[in-house]
């Protein structure tokens, strides 16, 4: 039996899925929910302890008391401002060291990870706990991108690449060669909704999601699920392209079913490094 | 007296200002309004002839009949899809030649410009007709960016640079090092409004607008005006940074007055190439 798993839970469906997966495998969990991020639907996620993101000292204590050594950072945590963080002395020291002023999402998570490891914890990847979560290469459902969609995907990859090393967005929507929208802090759902009203006549656009170049695959991998498919369909998109092996697909079968029903393609991209 | 000026009018305030400037200088104009783009307030711009963007043949004929040789492309024209364009044979030939499938805004305007010049017209810059339009270096009003704002501006410049050579956006909003939003096709107004609801606690963000690397300064220079200031104030931003010498400021005095009244800074950036 693997040891109890500490889950630091951010937003989205991923933390709950992880808890369910651990339970069916008989693995104990300790869920530390980040206030304002975790349990977006309210009451669904079994949170053992709540914490502010800025309360680093209390978080470390709680994890230690719970007796966990392996920790997963699951779900998205969008960077708050320093003012919102209200860092305790522990967090303040961390921020002072890393210089939080000009920091992206990844920089923050990387710093938190090394802090946790410095305290003797082991930070593991969601996909190492919950197998078969990584996006496979190729078409997931019945539909495949046509020539125009391939051009749009290539352009999307190019834009995400350019932004990726700046630690900004991981998603872009392209229609007929036109970049309709680029994701920053608003998240992919808001991006999709916005592009619904920006779309042009003719063949619809494609959502492209990729990891950042050199991204630590232990946190914040791009994630898509059945709700992503529904949202894309509602916004008039024709398909979804996500990076194979470096993104997470929740409910793969439900996703494929929804995509087939809506006539959307879902493709796992093999992107050369 | 300079010869009659042909104005191909896109969106925003710029075409009307140009017409007014020509009139006060006693220069004749011929205004060709692009349907769906020009005269956003309806009835304010004196349009001599309307045309669809895709009706290249009719546009060329109208400009020739009007007896103009110098032409300004004024105001923003966001790229429509090929389906919306409904190109006439002339436009279709142009698109076939340039391969419109994966084209950004600039690519399209560049192609249109060289087409016009191939027909014997001379495409001139707005700022060559309407002097004192280019953003000067330094602080425009009473306020100046503080240290955090300088960091935010530097990060914004970095992000626009990364995207610029891909011909995507020219604007970004950064707050306390966090990139709140990146402009794609939605335009700067929509970007500002969206970031109003994404803002974090603490010192507000900065709008950064720059030209694209290697941009042809005859069209689509980043433009700000008094309405930009009002919008930024409403969204909780602390200031506006635009590239000196490569962007257009409409109503400079009104802008400075509005910024002073709202406590915003407006700075013309000298960005090394």
> Do A158 and B166 contact (CB within 8 A), yes or no?
yes
Contacts of A169 (CB under 8 A, 6+ apart): A160, A163, A182, A183, A184, B179, B182
Q: Going from the N-terminus, what domains does chain A have, and what CATH number goes with each?
A: 5-129 (3.40.50.20), 134-269 (3.40.140.80)
Of residues A177, A183, A198, nearest to B102 (C-beta): A177
Chain A residues with CB-CB distance to B202 below 8 A: 81-84
Write down the pLDDT at residue A96.
72
In eight-state DSSP terms, residue A11 is B
How many Cβ pairs closer than 8 A exist between chain A and B?
124
> What is the model's pTM?
0.85
In eight-state DSSP terms, residue A173 is E
Tell me the CA end-to-end span of chain B in Å, nearest whole number.
37
In eight-state DSSP terms, residue A100 is G
Chain A residues with CB-CB distance to B154 below 8 A: 102
Spans in chain B with pLDDT lower than 50: 101-102
Q: Is the pLDDT higher at B38 or at A220?
A: B38
Pairing of strands A171-175, A138-139: unpaired
Give the best residue of B37, B176, B199 to mutate against chain A (max A CB count within 10 A). Answer: B176
What are the start-end ranges of the H helices in chain A? 14-24, 56-65, 82-85, 89-98, 105-118, 126-129, 147-164, 188-198, 226-234, 252-262
Write down the pLDDT at residue B102.
44
Q: Is the pLDDT of residue A273 over 80?
A: no
pLDDT tens per residue across span A47-58: 999 998 888 888
Of residues A100, A181, A186, nearest to B184 (C-beta): A181
pLDDT tens per residue across span A29-82: 999 999 888 887 788 899 999 998 888 888 899 999 999 999 998 887 776 776
Q: How far apart are CA B90 and CA B266, in angstroms?
A: 43
Instruction: For the beta carbon of residue B203, count every other beta carbon within 10 angstroms.
Output: 17
Which percentage of chain A shows pLDDT scores above 70? 94
Interfacial residues of A (vs B; Cβ cutoff 8 Å):
79-84, 100-104, 148, 151, 154-155, 158-159, 162-163, 165-166, 168-169, 172, 175-186, 194, 198, 200-203
Average pLDDT over residues A173-192: 93
Write down the pLDDT at residue A171.
96
The token pair at A173 is: 């929507």
- Subunit contact B81:A176, Cβ cutoff 8 A: yes
Q: How far apart are CA B248 and CA B48, in angstroms?
A: 25
- Subunit contact B102:A154, Cβ cutoff 8 A: yes
Question: Distance from B77 to chain A by nearest Cα, in Å?
Answer: 13
Question: Distance from A75 to chain B by nearest Cα, in Å?
Answer: 19
Give the best residue of B83, B102, B156, B174 to mutate against chain A (max A CB count within 10 A). Answer: B102
Tell me the C-alpha to C-alpha distance, in Å, between residue B24 and each of B17, B132, B248, B255.
11, 15, 20, 22
Tell me, what's the ipTM? 0.82
Average pLDDT over residues A236-257: 93
Which residue's entry shows tokens 């603490």? Answer: B202
Of residues B82, B184, B200, nearest to A180 (C-beta): B184
Phi/psi of residue B70, each to 5°?
Answer: -85, 135
Tell me the C-alpha to C-alpha distance, in Å, between residue B188 and each of A18, A45, B191, B246.
40, 39, 5, 17
Instruction: For the beta carbon of residue B190, count every other beta carbon within 10 angstroms.
Output: 18
Torsion of CA A21, A25, A26, A29, to 10 degrees: -30
Residue A38: strand, helix, or coil: coil
pLDDT tens per residue across span A206-217: 999 998 877 778
Instruction: For the beta carbon of residue A29, count every other beta carbon within 10 angstroms.
Output: 22
Q: How far apart are CA B270 and CA B273, in angstroms?
A: 9
pLDDT tens per residue across span A80-130: 776 777 778 877 777 777 665 445 556 667 777 888 888 899 999 888 887
Question: Distance from B207 to chain A by nearest Cα, in Å?
Answer: 14
Write down the pLDDT at residue B100.
54
- Subunit contact B101:A151, Cβ cutoff 8 A: yes
Chain B residues with CB-CB distance to A205 below 8 A: none
Give the DSSP letter string of chain B.
-PPPEEEEE-BSSHHHHHHHHHHHTT--EEEEEETTTS-TTSS-S--SEEE-TT-HHHHHHHHHHTT--EEEEESB-PPPPHHHH---HHHHHHHHHHTGGG--HHHHHHHHHHHHHHTT-EEE-HHHHSTT-BPPSEESSS----HHHHHHHHHHHHHHHHHHTTT--SEEEEETTEEEEE-SSS-HHHHHHHHHHHPPSSS--EEEE-PPTT--TTS---EE-HHHHHHHHHTT--EEEEETTSSEESSHHHHHHHHHHHT-EEEEE----
pLDDT tens per residue across span A142-168: 999 999 999 999 999 999 998 877 878
Write down the pLDDT at residue A105.
59
Cα B50-B130-B166 angle, rounded to 5 deg: 70
- Subunit contact A168:B186, Cβ cutoff 8 A: no
Give the best residue of A54, A85, A182, A203 to mutate against chain B (max B CB count within 10 A). Answer: A182
Pairing of strands A206-209, A171-175: antiparallel
Q: How far apart are CA B141 and CA B227, in angstroms?
A: 16
Chain A residues with CB-CB distance to B172 below 8 A: 184
Instruction: For the beta carbon of residue A259, count every other beta carbon within 10 angstroms.
Output: 25
> Do B172 and B222 contact (CB within 8 A), yes or no?
no
Sign of CA dihedral B13, B16, B19, B21: negative
Which percentage of chain A shows pLDDT scores above 90? 51
């Amino acid at each position: 039996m693997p040891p109890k798993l500490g889950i630091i839970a951010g937003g989205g469906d991923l933390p709950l899925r992880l808890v369910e997966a651990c339970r069916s495998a008989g693995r104990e969990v300790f869920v530390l929910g980040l206030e304002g991020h975790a349990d977006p639907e309210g009451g669904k996620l079994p949170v053992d302890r709540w914490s502010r993101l800025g309360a680093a000292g209390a978080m470390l204590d709680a994890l230690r008391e719970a007796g966990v050594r392996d920790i997963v950072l699951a779900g998205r945590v969008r960077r708050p401002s320093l003012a919102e963080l209200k860092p305790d002395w522990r967090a303040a020291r961390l921020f002072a060291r890393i210089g939080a002023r000009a920091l992206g999402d990844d920089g923050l998570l990387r710093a938190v990870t090394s802090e946790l490891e410095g305290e003797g914890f082991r930070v593991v990847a969601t996909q190492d706990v919950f197998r078969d979560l990584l996006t496979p290469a190729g078409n997931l459902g019945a539909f495949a991108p046509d020539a125009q969609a391939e051009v749009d995907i290539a352009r999307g990859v190019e834009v995400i690449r350019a932004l990726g090393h700046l630690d900004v967005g991981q998603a872009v929507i392209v229609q007929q060669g036109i970049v309709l929208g680029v994701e920053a802090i608003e998240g992919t759902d808001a991006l999709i909704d916005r592009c619904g009203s920006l779309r042009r006549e003719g063949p619809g656009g494609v959502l492209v999601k990729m990891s950042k170049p050199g991204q630590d695959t232990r946190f914040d991998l791009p994630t898509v699920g059945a709700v992503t498919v529904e949202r894309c369909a509602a916004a008039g998109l024709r398909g979804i392209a996500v990076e194979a092996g470096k993104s997470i697909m929740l409910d793969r079968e439900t996703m494929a079913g929804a995509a087939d029903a809506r006539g959307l393609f879902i493709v796992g991209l093999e992107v050369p490094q």
